[in-house]
Amino acid sequence: MGEDRDLLRGNIPTLILAVVREAPLHGLAIAREINQRSNNALELKQGTLYPALHALERDGWISGE
């Protein structure tokens, strides 16, 4: 279980970028899309999603509005 969690944690930025590449979305919509695309296997909670979004924004990969 811990390995699965580490694998997810390392790929969260990639998952987010894959979703927002197609269209700009707000945080909740990004989480829903990742959940839907993974057939409910991946569920990002706010405590995981928003720090990742802030890091992507800080690093210049996305811009927030």
**Count of domains in the chain?**
1
In a domain, 64, yes or no: no
Residue closest to 5 by CA, chosen among 57, 37, 48:
48
Residue 41 dihedral angles phi and psi, to the nearest 5°: -80, -30
In a domain, 15, yes or no: yes
- 11-58 pLDDT, tens digit each: 899 999 999 999 999 999 999 999 999 898 888 888 999 999 999 999
Q: How far is CA 46 from the centre of its chain?
A: 10
Residue closest to 34 by CA, chosen among 24, 43, 21, 22:
43
4 burial (CB, 10 Å; 0-12 / 13-18 / 19+) is exposed
In a domain, 25, yes or no: yes
Residue 1 pLDDT class (50, 70, 90 cuts): very low
In a domain, 6, yes or no: yes
> Which residues form the domain of 26?
2-58
